[in-house]
Structure 1
Amino acid sequence: MARTRRAHAAAPAWLTIWALLPLLLIALPLCYVAIRASQAGLAGVAQELLRERTLMLLLNTVALAVGVTLTASMIGLAVAWCVERSDLPLRRFWRVAAGLPLAVPAFVSSYAWSSIAVGFQSLPGALLVLSLSTYPLVYLPVAAALRSADPAFEDVSRSLGHGPTHTFLHALLPQLIPALGGGSLLVLTHMFSEFGALALLRVQTFTTAIFESYELQFDSATAAVQSIVLMALCIPAAYGEMRVRGHRRIARMGRGAARMVPSVRLGKARLLVLLAFGGLGLLSLGVPLATLGYWLAHGRSLGQGYEEIWPAIRGSIGYATSGAVLASILAMPLVLLSIRYRNRFSSLAERLPYIVHGLPGVVVALALVFLSIRAAPALYQTSIVLLCAYAILFLPLAQSSLRASIELISPQLEQIARSLGRSPFRVFMSVVLPNIAPGIGAALALMMLEIFRELTATLMLAPTGVTTLATQVWSYTFDAEYAAAAPFATLLVLISSVPVWVFTRRMLQYGGQP
């Protein structure tokens, strides 16, 4: 009862005020779209929406997002099942190797493939490259779900005389739906917000069109209307991801059968499956890494930009660190409110960042440019605006990391501290903060990795003269100077590979099967 009363108690004023800061920041992109739409008027919005180019952008965006999501989901599900449930040779190796394409940012893969042949600079080429880059987002959660799935359901199905296909579809697949749906929705939101890879592959979608409108006409009404359409596509997908995130696990009585599930014999298909795994590894990792190696050793632009490597590293580290710290600070009150003081305000505060999370960096950057010029001109082209963009884009990531740590702290510890006469703020500083320090560290590391790879907002908002590894890759590749881009792309892959390797191993070890 004490916990229930605590959950419905009024939040301290300092915590509510603290929570208003990220909410006001998150509301900026929504305000921007509303303001620009009202300035364009209904006639202007309708005229832009009915243009033939807008229809083309809509078809390209939806076709690419749906195509990549379906392809990545099928690959991820198939790979996860083969690794976890079949007698595939070298299973331990493939279990980790299948997740390593995450170490190569999508725009780096696009740089590699586009430098091989112009034919990859097309919608089919983008479908191939992005499917290879994103399938681990489905594979990892599905593989983890397979390792923790209760085999009793499959035993019952087989005991009733059902075959392997019926057992998979009706006994195993329902247990995988939360993980499969969550991974698929994550791929979908990534595709709606993808810019760098599509710009390098010369595929026109709403994100590339909005960026071009900004570059050519600077904050044009066209970009604003295109942002409205993109928001309409992104918000349902992001909301669906948030809903699935909250229902990942399927309830069951007890812990299930504590035994190893027998591996399915592949028989004559064993060699074919092994060749398919080799081909997948070659296309998703081999081609990008081999291309990087080639351009590091050859090319007319080789040696250009070496003097910019250290400034780019310094810029990447500086912004990644500052952005991660800011996002963690802003996420803290939202998580505390949602766990300790559950009410309508705390529910809105928790969910709003996830809904806006589906927006691409180009829309967030455009909103901050528009509002900073009109409300605070002194802030335009400063690092403050860029850090605000990082906070908006990566706030949900900080929330997820911090929530896992705060939920482990018993409310009774805080109640004991309060009974000793300490104020809520002193309780937070002396009890809560020290106990969630490991969670804060994990959140910072994960966000720093993501900010290292962020491209769109950095391109649009970074102060003049400031560069990062990601912007240098894009700049040289866009000018077809592939050898000059190679050192920056290689550093990005090296920086990403270590945390991706550790994350993949830890995620797949959770579940029980060796």
Structure 2
Amino acid sequence: MRRRPPWYLTFVPALVTIAVALPIAYLAVRAMEVDGAMLREILLRERNLLLVRNTLGLMLGVIAGSSLLAVPLAWLATSTDIRGRGIVTLLSVLPLAIPGYVLGYSLLALGSPYGPVQELFGMTPFARATGFGGALVTLTLYNFPFLFLTLRTGFLELDPALGESARALGLSPLATFRRVTLPQLWPAFASGALLVGLYVLGDFGVVSLMRFETFSYAIYLQYSASLDRAYAAWLAIGLLALTITILAIEFRIAGRILLERSGKGSRRERRLFRLGKWALPAYAFVGTALLFSLALPIGSILFWTARARDFSVAELLPSLLDSLSVSIPVALVATALALPVALLAGRFPSRAARGFERIAYLGYAIPPLALALGFIFLTLKSVPFLYQSLALLIAALAVHFLALALSPIRSAVRTASRTLEEASRSLGRGRRETFRAVSLPLLWPGIAGAGLLVFLSAMKELPVSFLLAPLDFQSLPLRVYGYTTEAMFAEAGPYALAILLLSSLGAALVLQVNPGDAR
């Protein structure tokens, strides 16, 4: 007989569902308030096609650029005899510690007048990166670690027997890679490409700094600089439709792929490819990739921070406190909401529980500006006193980052022993006492990791804060963005450096709490 979950394990997931669905519903309601003639005029604007072309072109370009970096790096780090494979892996993931807009700031500042290139060489050999090219380079350098991580797992899961059989049948190494290895890597590549694509669709910081008009940037411009809020709502719906379409295509393709080992016995030990004369080009490739993704951005940040001679650390405190005043509550709220969702799905599996879990993930898949715009319309319609309040910003970010909290807690729930919980109940302890004395200690690493992950993400968050923050709210990301848009690179440097240090420290703490994440 299936056990019924306690009421609170159903109530909280239902509350999460409402919190995710209501902003999007109000977004649709606001969009449909226009009359038929205005609706036709909105839908038939030539600018819409430009936005679709720019957004899709940038997304495909970033996926292609990320592939050119991630595939060779993942192969070198897993399948070759290159020295320091662990170091290559670590350095290939480190660019994730630099938020996209900070990376954009560093590249803009790198080629600016009086920047480090001009200071060192007495000239600026390249124009500042702006437009499509600037956005493409910046987003590629930030996103390729996502693809690297999924491809690294894919390479490690490859069965070497298939490649050896192909070679024994006369296929060349290149043909073996193309006909045998690549098909096995496709699921890993597809999942990584999906992460990259969704990030590019929702990105606001990089495209706005580079002045390249995609859906996200157009939503912000339309909402902030125009009274035509209906068009902003339709742009957000268009971005949502684009996101859902890409998700559906990926799920449909992934559903047709079935790769499993049919033979019996353990998997054969993998043989590392000997680089030989290709070792030097391999080291050069790794060095070049890391030069552009790590060394140059960090060097640019340090250069401009050193130029801020009149800046004192005390000037950071107000922005740091603003960031903490949001990040800490968001981490607590998101973790508190994720725990019942994970417990319901893990301890009382059902179709409804799976539905609640998927809806919780939807909050992260929704592009941030579309979600923020939905919250704006919701509050102005029903609770206008919450508009541009700290409470609204915390609620929106908790919904957005709920999926980040859910993943580590769900893993902890699945690995926690039910036997100990059942033994505690058989000894007469109630559900609450069993949870406090038995379940909570088992789940604590996942809960702590979830809180740290959300805290770190909220500290770096820009687009939702940009639309929903109170007027006097100036977090570290908003400071970096505001100074960069005015080309005040020295003033932005200390704030960018603070974000970089906090991101690195947060990542180290996450790995300390969850050592398995480092693998």
Instruction: Give TM-score, length-normalised by structure 1.
Output: 0.89
Per the alignment, residue 118 of structure 2 pairs with: none
Q: Which moved more, 1:338-347 or 1:100-109?
A: 338-347
Uncovered stretches (5+) of structure 2, i.e. residues with no partner? 113-126
CA distance in 1, matches of 2:222, 2:309: 32
- CA contact 2:363–2:401 (8 Å) conserved in 1: no
Partner residue of 1:313 out of 310, 320, 331: 320
Q: 2:161 aligns with which of 152, 157, 169?
A: 152
Matched positions, count: 501
Distance 1:502 1:255 in 2: 39
Pair 355,375 (structure 1): closer, same or farther in 2 beyond 3 Å: same
Which of 272, 281, 284 does residue 290 from structure 2 map onto?
A: 281
Q: Kindly state the Cα deviation for residue 23 of structure 1 after the two structures are TM-superposed.
A: 1.0
* SS across alignment from 2:30: helix
- Is the CA contact 1:29–1:367 (under 8 Å) kept in the aligned structure 2? yes
Q: Could you tell me how far apart the structure 2 residues matched to 1:40 and 1:69 are?
A: 37
Match of 1:72 in 2: 66
Q: 2:267 aligns with which of 257, 269, 274?
A: 257
The residue aligned with 2:439 is 432
1:381-423 C-alpha deviation (Å, 9 max, x unpaired)? 2211011111121111111111110001233333344445555
For residues 47 and 516 of structure 2, the distance between their equivalents in structure 1, rounded to whole angstroms, comes to: 43
Number of the residue aligned with 1:28 = 22
Aligned partners of 1:133 and 1:284 also within 8 Å:
yes
Whether 1:102 and 2:112 are equivalent positions in the alignment is no
Deviation (angstroms), 1:257: 3.4
Alignment of 1:320-399 (within 5 A): 320-399=327-406
In structure 2, what is the equivalent of residue 460 of structure 1?
A: 467
> Quick check: 1:239–1:355 contact (8 Å CA) kept in 2?
no
The answer for the alignment partner of 2:38 in structure 1 is 44
Q: Does residue 495 of the first structure (1) align with residue 502 of the second (2)?
A: yes
Cα deviation code 1:278-333 (max 9, x no counterpart): 211111112211211221233xx753686541111122223212111111111122
Report which stretch shifted further, 370-379 or 204-213: 370-379
Partner of 1:234: 243
Distance 1:244 1:450 in 2: 30
Residue 105 of structure 2 corresponds to 111
Could you tell me which runs of 5 or more consecutive residues in structure 1 were left unpaired when the two chains were aligned: none
Kindly state the Cα deviation for residue 174 of structure 1 after the two structures are TM-superposed: 3.7
Q: Which moved more, 1:123-132 or 1:419-428?
A: 419-428
> Partner amino acid for 2:477?
A
1:266 aligns with 2:275: yes
**Post-superposition shift, 1:246?**
11
Q: Which amino acid aligns with 2:288?
A: G
How has the CA–CA distance of structure 1 residues 503 and 172 changed in structure 2, closer, same or farther, with 3 Å as cutoff? farther
Q: Once the two structures are superposed, what CA deviation does each residue of 1:331-388 show, in whole Å capped at 9, x if it has no partner?
A: 1222122222222221211111323422222111111122112211222222110111
Distance 2:321 2:337 in 1: 24
User: Residues 241-291 of structure 1, C-alpha deviation per residue, up to 9 Å, x if partnerless?
Assistant: 7899999996546784363x3322334433223222221111111221121
Higher relative contact order (CA 8 A, sep 6+): 1
Deviations 1:77-108 (A, max 9, x none): 12100222123344343222122111111101
Contact 2:372 2:396 in 1 (8 A): yes
Find the counterpart in structure 2 of residue 59 from structure 1.
53
Match of 2:491 in 1: 484
Could you tell me which residue of structure 1 aligns to residue 117 of structure 2?
none
Judging changes above 3 Å, is the alpha-carbon distance between structure 1 residues 63 and 44 closer, same or farther for their aligned structure 2 residues? same
Q: After the TM superposition, which of the residue ranges 143-152 and 249-258 deviates more from structure 2? A: 249-258
After TM superposition, give the deviation of residue 75 of structure 1 in Å. 1.7
Q: Which residue of 2 aligns with 1:448?
A: 455
* Residues 211/292 of structure 1: CA separation in 2 closer, same or farther (3 Å cut): same
Q: Does 1:400 align with 2:407?
A: yes
Contact 1:455 1:470 in 2 (8 A): yes
Deviation at 1:41, TM superposition (A): 4.2
1:383, 1:508 → 2: CA distance?
32
The one-letter code of the counterpart of 2:378 is: L
Q: Determine the C-alpha separation between the residues in 1 that align with 2:237 and 2:487.
A: 32
Task: Give 1:509 deviation, angstroms.
Answer: 6.2
Aligned residue among 196, 204, 211 for 2:220: 211
For 2:220 and 2:198, the matched residues in 1 are separated by 18
Separation of aligned partners in 1, 2:5 and 2:433: 14
Distance in 2 (alpha carbons) for counterparts of 1:423 and 1:247: 46
Q: Following the alignment from structure 1 to structure 2, what is the Cα–Cα distance between the partners of residues 141 and 446?
A: 19
CA contact (8 A) 1:334 1:350 kept: yes
Distance 2:97 2:445 in 1: 24
Q: Is the 8 A contact 2:166 2:176 kept in 1?
A: yes
- Which residue of structure 2 lines up, in the alignment, with residue 220 of structure 1? 229
Equivalent of 1:162, from 153, 171, 180?
171
1:46-75 deviation per Cα after TM superposition (whole angstroms, max 9, x unaligned): 321211112111111111111101221232
| Distance (whole Å) between structure 2 residues aligned to residue 25 and residue 302 of structure 1 | 46
